A and B are shown apart, each in its own frame.
Chain A
Amino acid sequence: MDRPGASPGVSFAVSVDFDTVHVDDVSRHYGRRRALAHVTLQAQQGEILGLFGPNGAGKSTLISILSTLLRPSGGGVRYGAHTVAETGDALRGQIGVLGHDLYLYGDLTARENLRFFGRLYGLDRLEARVTDALARARLSDRADDRAGSFSRGLRQRLAFERALLHDPRLVLLDEPFTGLDDDSAQVLIERLGTLRDAGHIVVMATHDFDTAEAVVNRSLCVDRGRAWPVADGAGTLRERYRRTLAERV
């Protein structure tokens, strides 16, 4: 298997890598409320899959299931030939998540945050990776400032690099453009393009059609727990998404 996006610095007892993610008929209920219903999709390496949909449609639930944080009520997820039940800890080493909450400790500096998570992932060349990540987040000059003192945009940039520090195969992004100014959004788009070219699998939930259009390969419309491909054809991503949603309703 071609492994351009694999994690050379992460070692596990069980070696886990994959080039596709299959979501097979996944449903998820919270009590009597249905968050996802029979969702089936596939994402492969070198692809950025966009998830679009209204608030509460089930996008974040799907990302939580893909990240292994949440178990589906029905159906299953396969990461290549692997499942969470077989390779839990090692599999998580190949997944990077940028959540809506940023998973940063406000009382630690930017450098300490990256160093802490790097240690948890057992990364080699940690200091070099941290320095590179800070440079990519354009935070080298504020590396020793507390993350809690950063604006939302700066924290978003730091959190994005934290999610990628271990060079994961599967990158899950929930609203990655939140709080970013134009320049930062452009840098993020370029970075996503680099990830795609390096063979990562990127799944991204966002409401920012205009920004995402520049980078996604494939788009899904998620509404009331169900997912459909966004219609092909003429028009912008936003227009095609609205058309898909209207047809389904």
Chain B
Amino acid sequence: MGFLNTVWTIARKDLVIEARSRELAYTTLFFSVSVVLVFSFSFVVEGVALTDAAAGILWVSIAFAGTLALGRTFERERQSDTLKALLLSPVERPAIYIGKLVGVLLLMLVVEAVVTPVVGLLFQAPLDRAPLLLVGLLVTGTLGFAGVGTLFAAMLIRAQSRDVLLPVLLYPITVPLVIAGVRGTAAIFAAEPNLAVAQAWLSMLVFFDAVFLTLALWVFGPVMGE
């Protein structure tokens, strides 16, 4: 079976399961919208949002919702030890990793498609100022976050305290990604926008993605072998 076919087969399976239960979509959406809503009461005073608050809160809600999605996605593979069945199949191990990553990534992007307008509404963030650049920042940042998270969530699947360990391992490593996402988004949302700076942060995110995904593809097979 070809690499891309395997990736699509695994990702589609995750999407079918999610479409049927909608458990992750509802949980992550509810959680991230709640985060944005609660912060809006602190950081929006008399209808005016604090400087850069919108960008920070958008990325915090993405990171938290992503962690929730990652943990639960792999919990499904743990329940009947189906990750083992994937590893037993005659497919390339990196294809399993990418398949799981695509499933998580699509779910996170759906959440972002809802949360970003909510942030725009509550914090008066100008989403239409550089929409392509904003989408680029969100997609690349989410790809890097989900890429690292998928690797760690798979590694921790047999660990007893996986729910605690996942954020402990994930957040320190993805801090550069989140910072790049926040600064890039803040540069777009600022009263005096600087799109060149936003592009620089986008380039940084592309670089992070390349490094993280290469490393993850390299180590996934050996790590899952034990």
Contacts and interface: CB of A to CB of B under 8 A. Distances in A.
Secondary structure class of chain B's binding surface, majority of residues: helix
Contact of B1 (A91, A107, A116, A121): A121
Given A105-B13, A107-B17, A107-B76, A120 B86 contact: yes
Given A89-B92, A104-B82, A112 B87 contact: no
Contact of A105 (B5, B82, B90, B92): B82
Contacts of A71: 225-226
A103 B13 contact: no
Nearest to B221: A88
Contacts of A92: 88-90
Contact of A112 (B10, B16, B89): B16
A95 B88 contact: yes
- What is the size category of the interface that chain A forms with chain B? 20 to 34
Interface residues of B, number: 26
A16 B167 CA distance: 42
Interface in A94-116: 95, 97, 99, 101-108, 112, 116
B51 interface: no
Contacts of B92: 89
Contacts of A10: 90
Nearest to B1: A122
A101 B81 contact: yes
B17 A105 contact: yes
Interface stretch (A62-70, A180-188, A191-199, A201-209): A62-70
Interface string B1-25: 1000110011001001100110000
Interface of B: 1, 5-6, 9-10, 13, 16-17, 20-21, 76, 79-82, 84-92, 225-226
Given A12-B90, A107-B76, A121-B90, 18 more contacts: A69-B84, A69-B225, A70-B226, A89-B92, A92-B89, A92-B90, A93-B90, A97-B85, A99-B84, A99-B85, A101-B84, A103-B81, A104-B82, A105-B80, A105-B82, A120-B10, A120-B89, A122-B1
7 contacts: A12-B90, A67-B88, A91-B90, A108-B13, A120-B6, A120-B86, A120-B90
